[in-house]
Amino acid sequence: MIVFNYYTPTEVVFGKNSEQQIAALVKKYGGKKLLLHYGGKSAERSGLLDVVRQQLKEAGIPFVELGGVVPNPLLSKVREGIALCQQEGVDFLLAVGGGSVIDSCKAIAYGLAYEGDVWDLFVGKAEPQAAYPVGCVLTIPAAGSEMSTGCVITNEEGALKRSCDGNLGRCRFAVMNPERTFTLPPFQTACGITDMMMHTLERYFSKEDDMTLTDNVAEAILRTVKELAPVVLQNPTDYRSRAQIMWAGSLAHNDLTGCGMSGDWSTHQLEHELSGMFGVAHGAGLAAVWPSWARYVCPTNVSRFVRLAVNVMGVANDFTDPEGTALRGIAAMEQFFHSIGMPVTIHELIGREIKDEEIVEMARKCSNNGSSCIGGFKTLNQDDMEKIYRMAK
């Protein structure tokens, strides 16, 4: 039975010079005093931060700044942001960067509207009831946080990575200029491409199998990204291709591809342990584990893997051999990942052979000491996880 909610209120302003609209957007959404939140030096070096500062100054919107957000954004920075905003009377948060900066901003927004400690909201001690408004200027198409409900923060004490999901976490607006992605290094571009494909695939593989429209839209996004990935890697300043990839990152994670699909998300959870243990890039970790996950769960619904093979990967359908077609589709995805410089095994990911005790440890953590399972398409227990990690090694 097809039942779903769909709510994507973020106002997207997309294209060359879209930064010129930042001040008007902040005013439209009620911002009177801003936190300008960003990461490292790339936004400074590219001149983007100066463009934003200039915009805000000309519009007479006062702001304070907080930079230094790192990939896998930290709770300590979130707390610093909350204190700064309270002290300065900030009422609107503007993220300039990729998913990490946006998530850090969202966490500050939650914290400002909550009386207790913000971490409560990430460990289930309390449910967020409100959040300060957040807008963003996106520079890295990958995480999809600019339109998604998601927000992931790492607590340095215990290296706990936790999320706080919900419609309160939707950005009010997202400014997206594909030109700002021209300088992304190839590896980061490829990680982003993998991440957005996986956001689509995690929903495409669901226990439901009846939402043709969502399937067709998901395949359209996957095909587009797959076709244009080599183009942006070969010609990083190709506006047209960068634009498709950038917009695909948003559509992949704003829930359009989740309408009527409850999703799987095993690959994300299996990868979570990889990046936790080895500090690898999220996108690369996903590529390293997906093919093994796919081969392991394929018998659950072979026809779905045949769909992917034929409709996305361009594999010829051998109607007498669905399993063979399905497996050729998975192999074609591996070839694609390799072609954009992504690993398809843990060995390729971490540059050495993984030890068996490391596999056991990851499966133990991923299953909460064997007490919980993952996966909506196929339920996986601790034993399944170990097997998939071994297949992927």
Interface residues with a copy of itself (CB under 8 A) are 1-18, 178, 210-213, 216-217, 219-221, 223-224, 227-228, 239-240, 243-244, 247-248, 251, 256, 259-260
Tell me how far, at minimum, the Cβ of 237 lies from a copy of itself, in Å. 14
Contacts of 45 (CB under 8 A, 6+ apart): none
Q: Measured from the CB atom, is 6 or 62 closer to a copy of itself?
A: 6
Largest CA distance in the chain: 69
Tell me how far, at minimum, the Cβ of 114 lies from a copy of itself, in Å. 20
DSSP designation for 374: B
> Which has the closest alpha carbon to 103: 164, 183, 27, 49?
164
The 3-state DSSP class for residue 166 equals coil
Q: Measured from the CB atom, is 255 or 273 closer to a copy of itself?
A: 255
Measuring CA to CA, how many Å separate 72 from each of 15, 165, 188, 366, 370?
Answer: 27, 16, 14, 18, 26
Q: Measured from the CB atom, is 127 or 323 closer to a copy of itself?
A: 127
Tell me how far, at minimum, the Cβ of 155 lies from a copy of itself, in Å. 32
Q: Measured from the CB atom, is 246 or 309 closer to a copy of itself?
A: 246
Q: Measured from the CB atom, is 255 or 358 closer to a copy of itself?
A: 255
Q: Which residues of 23-52 are buried (b: 16+ CB within 10 A; e: fewer)?
A: bebbeeeebeebbbbbbeebbeeeebbebb
Residues in a beta bridge with 34: 63, 92
Tell me how far, at minimum, the Cβ of 169 lies from a copy of itself, in Å. 15
C-alpha–C-alpha distance, residues 118 and 123, integer Å: 10
Tell me how far, at minimum, the Cβ of 21 lies from a copy of itself, in Å. 9
Q: Measured from the CB atom, is 4 or 230 closer to a copy of itself?
A: 4
Tell me how far, at minimum, the Cβ of 260 lies from a copy of itself, in Å. 7
Structure-block tokens of residue 103: 């998530």
Q: Measured from the CB atom, is 88 or 238 closer to a copy of itself?
A: 238
DSSP secondary structure string for all residues of 63-74? EEEE----SS-B
C-alpha–C-alpha distance, residues 327 and 315, integer Å: 10
* Other CB atoms within 10 A of residue 184 CB: 22
C-alpha–C-alpha distance, residues 172 and 32, integer Å: 15
Structure-block tokens of residue 258: 């989740």
Tell me how far, at minimum, the Cβ of 292 lies from a copy of itself, in Å. 29
Q: Measured from the CB atom, is 140 or 176 closer to a copy of itself?
A: 176
Residues in a beta bridge with 124: none
Tell me how far, at minimum, the Cβ of 243 lies from a copy of itself, in Å. 4
